[in-house]
Amino acid sequence: MYRTILLAYDGTRESRLALREGADLAACCGACTHLLAIVHLPTAVLGGESLAAGGAVAGEINRFQDILDEGIERLKSRGLRCEGHLEQGEPIEVIVRMAETVHADLVVLGYHRRRGIDKWWRSSTSAQIVERLSTSLLVAIRNAENPPAVTASSTPSTGS
Is the entire prediction scored with pTM above 0.75? yes
The mean pLDDT value for 60-67 works out to 94
Q: H-type helices in the chain, by residue range?
A: 13-29, 43-46, 53-77, 91-101, 116-132
Q: Virtual CA dihedral for 115, 120, 125, 129, nearest 10 degrees?
A: 90
The mean pLDDT value for 144-160 works out to 44
| Domain segments of the chain as ranges | 4-142
**What CATH homologous superfamily does 4-142 map to?**
HUPs (3.40.50.620)
pLDDT of residue 41: 77
pLDDT band with cut points at 50, 70 and 90 for residue 125: low
25-57 tens-digit pLDDT: 999 999 999 999 999 876 545 555 554 556 777
More confident of the two residues 106 and 49 = 106
More confident of the two residues 3 and 125 = 3
pLDDT of residue 135: 95
